[in-house]
Amino acid sequence: MLLSLVYRWYERRLEGVVRRGAIPQHVGVLPDGNRRFARIAGMGSVDEGHRQGVATIERLIQWCDDLEIPVITIWVLSTDNFNRPAEELAGIFRLVEERIDGLAEAQAKAKRPRRVRAVGRRDLMPAATLAAIERVEQATVHHEGGGLLVAVGYDGREEIVDAVRQLLRDHVAGGDSLESVASALDADEIGRYLYASDVPDPDLIIRTSGELRLSGFLLWQSAYSEYYFCDVYWPAFRRIDFLRALRSYGDRERRRGR
């Protein structure tokens, strides 16, 4: 009881510090550590770790709503993750299909409903999972309270390759020569071909589980992002951990290369 009271007091104090400082407008999250959490906790399968990880994602969205953070990008599955055992992948896709409609319902009731979009290789996903994702995208397409990007079958290098490939196709279809395209090509034009080019770059990227790398997450967009690495496994990530990340962000001076 005493520990709970101290925790709540510290959380409120921490939130006060965060609200007085700079708050990011776009937070990217690598929710890492579901499988390790499941093994350490003695769970019967990694599916339960992923299930608890999804519950943490749902809480994160609420935390961002409370602090009026407009955009969230969450990396659910990388293209490399498709090399995992088929049974584990099937469990992840089942979870997406089970919880995605609830996400749409929650956003419909939210004070600032978010538009939900998936970014990544849709051709890698099972038909039922893709249909579920497209349902929530359609249900939230007119929401203007913020954005929630779900990176599924995503790899930052592939996103850049896809962007350049489509850019070249459009120019060639318009009658431009490759030489003229190459001479005029710049970063801004490539940026317009990214998966969600209308979304601002992330201000803060959080990775859990103690890993100190991006692993290909938003490689183009993260050039001037601030990074925060946390030792906690994702299913155990608490609001207090999130507030600590935001406090760290607020304490930094962002020069953006200047």
Q: Pairing between strand 114-119 and 146-154?
A: parallel
CA–CA gap between residue 29 and residue 75 (Å, rounded): 6
**162 annotated active-site:** no
Catalytic site residue from 32, 47, 201, 203: 32
CA–CA gap between residue 164 and residue 102 (Å, rounded): 36
CA–CA gap between residue 46 and residue 113 (Å, rounded): 32
> Are the C-beta atoms of 72 and 149 separated by less than 8 Å?
yes
Alpha-helix residue ranges (DSSP H) falling in 154-254: 156-173, 178-184, 187-191, 239-250
Largest CA distance in the chain: 72
Catalytic site residue from 47, 81, 201, 231: 81
Direct distance between the N- and C-terminal alpha carbons of the chain, in angstroms, rounded to an integer: 49
**188 annotated active-site:** no
C-alpha distances in Å from residue 234, one per residue of 49, 51, 62, 128: 9, 11, 16, 26
Residue 47: partners with Cβ closer than 8 Å, 6 or more residues away: 38, 88, 91, 95
Q: In 3D, which of 230, 186, 228, 239 has the Cα closest to residue 203?
A: 228
Structure tokens at 67: 């602090």
Distance of CA 123 to the CA centre of its chain: 20
Return the active site residues. 32, 81
